[in-house]
Every structure is written in C-alpha cells, then in structure tokens.
Amino acid sequence: MVDPAQIGIRLDVNEDGTTFLANARLKAEAGLRLSGLATLADDSGLEVPALEGRPGVHSARFAGPGASNRDLIDALLRELGPQAQQSPTAFFHCAAVLQLPGGKSFVGEGLLEGTIASEPRGVHGFGFDPIFRVPNGRHLAELSLEEKNLLSHRARAIAALEVHGGFDALVR
C-alpha cells in the first residue's frame, strides 16, 4: 500500500456528497483516476441524533473554515445547548471504498456509538474525540492509538470492507 504523496499525487477532492459513502467514493475514484492503482478512501464524521444527524458530512467544517479542534467542540456544545448536560447519543460514522481498476468497488461502513460529554477530556485524537464518550465511560481522546484502532468506526469500516471480499480482490 502506498500513500498518494509517495507517488507524487496530490488528492484535492471536492467532498460535495450528501453522505459519507458518496464522499468516500469521490475520493476513491479520484485516486484511481490519478494513479491507475486500486485506491482505498474513506470519509467519516460525527452524527448526533438530537441534532438531526448533524454535523454529519460537515463535521470537519462544522465550526467554519480554519476552525481549531476546540472550536469544533465549542460549536457542537453550543448547538446542543442544555441537551449537552444530558449526554446525548452520538455516532462516529465511517464509509470506506476500495475502487479497483476495471470499475469494481467494495464498500464497508462502520459506526462507533457513544455519548457526548459536556466537558472535554484526554489529549489523544482530534476533532470531537475529547467529548465523545465510549460505552466504558472513557472519552475517545483518553484512549491510546492502539485502543482506538481496535474499536473505531474506521476499523469497523475496514473490517466490513474485508468481509465483503475487498482485500481478497486485490490479490486475485
């Protein structure tokens, strides 16, 4: 597996899809088109049912262009208002697409369910990780990279992609 930068490719994809899957597909197709190589891409973000699924595909831009991680957290807590004190349910959602030359593609999606905490904790991760509380009560930003990689929405999306035969198709 190679990173696009390793082969001189700069992916600058306009993520204008209305779903994580649509954006992942846009990135995978662009990677294949530019490299001629099978391309794995993903898109992910936070969905909060109390906010009708927002921030969703706009997670990275939820607090506006150039916003810091703290800006994202503050914007989400502000949007939740008093509901933030009630630990609303939230999901990190990831869609992964493996696009192969010849047009075949494989899709995997993963969810990590948790709740939103009203106060950030932890120093690992980025974005909403400091206020996302996993079922064992810890915040995602308190987990080591190894712990996070075992249970994350991305790990689950990649596992689902593998179950659908995506990686087997690479070696055929």
Residues classed as catalytic: 43
Contact (Cβ atoms closer than 8 angstroms) between residue 97 and residue 25: yes
Burial of 164 (0-12, 13-18, 19+ CB in 10 A): middle
Q: Strand, helix or coil at 60?
A: helix
- What type of residue is 69? N
Check if the beta carbon of residue 122 is closer than 8 Å to that of residue 129.
Answer: yes
Q: Which tokens go with 76?
A: 């989400």
Question: Contact, 92 vs 45, CB < 8 A?
Answer: yes
101: helix, strand or coil: coil
Tokens found for residue 155: 């790990």
